């Protein structure tokens, strides 16, 4: 996979204005989902050591591409609305490593936005298509169109950082 071109500004032409509010949401997507549906659930899809994606190893600070990788589906009323992919350098040891290992089906966002020591970096945006591995993983959850919007940001706690990428699935638009 060639290096993706993540942008720190969402293009003015970026699709639906309602989707734009989700992409630029400064607070927890988990909390926003919970406010907009009856039954919210985090479904753990994968957690373990693995290789970071090429653009994560370059820009996310993951040494040698080896990382703890966590993938979940955020579901509202039984429908997946966001696919989240998180990487944390496997070489690091600290609170964040221990917390990630114990999360299970709980939301990482509930930790990132509740614990006062976290600092969030810039939100970056990318329109994914079938060439991107995260598009293909998200497409396993629900039927999708030719492209999906994603955003990502780094969250730092002490000397550790976690890179969180959120891919917005078509049913996000039903949460109006």
Contact (CB, 8 A) for 108 and 84 = yes
CATH code, domain with 101: 3.40.1410.10
Q: Which strand (E) or helix (H) includes residue 97?
A: helix 95-102
Q: Phi and psi at residue 126, in whole multiples of 5°?
A: -155, 135
Structurally, the chain folds into a number of domains equal to: 1
CA dist., res. 61 & res. 52, Å (int)? 10
* Per-residue model confidence as pLDDT tens digits over 4-39: 689 998 877 666 889 999 999 998 999 999 999 999
The verdict on residue 1 lying in a domain is no
98 lies in a domain?
yes
Residue 150 domain-assigned? yes
Residue 2 has pLDDT above 50, yes or no: no
- As a residue count, the chain comes to 176
The rounded distance, in Å, linking the Cα atoms of 14 and 123 is: 15
Q: How confident is the model at residue 138 (pLDDT cuts 50, 70, 90)?
A: very high
Which among 62, 34, 36 has a CA at the least distance from the CA of 49?
A: 62
Name the residue range of residue 51's domain.
17-174
Q: Is residue 151 part of a domain?
A: yes
């Amino acid at each position: 996979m060639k290096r993706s071109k993540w942008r720190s500004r969402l293009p003015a032409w970026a699709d639906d204005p309602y989707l734009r509010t989700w992409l630029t949401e400064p607070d927890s997507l988990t909390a926003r989902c919970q406010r907009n549906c009856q039954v919210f659930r985090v479904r753990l899809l994968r957690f373990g050591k693995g290789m970071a994606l090429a653009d994560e190893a370059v820009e996310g600070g993951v040494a040698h591409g080896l990382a703890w990788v966590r993938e979940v589906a955020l579901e509202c009323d039984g429908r997946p609305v966001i696919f989240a992919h998180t990487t944390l350098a496997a070489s690091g040891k600290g609170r964040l490593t221990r917390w990630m290992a114990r999360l299970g089906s709980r939301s990482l966002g509930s930790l990132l936005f509740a614990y006062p020591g976290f600092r969030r970096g810039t939100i970056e945006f990318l329109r994914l298509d079938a060439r991107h591995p995260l598009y293909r993983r998200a497409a396993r959850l629900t039927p999708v169109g030719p492209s999906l919007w994603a955003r990502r940001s780094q969250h730092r706690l002490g000397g550790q950082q976690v890179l969180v990428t959120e891919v917005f699935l078509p049913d996000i638009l039903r949460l109006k």
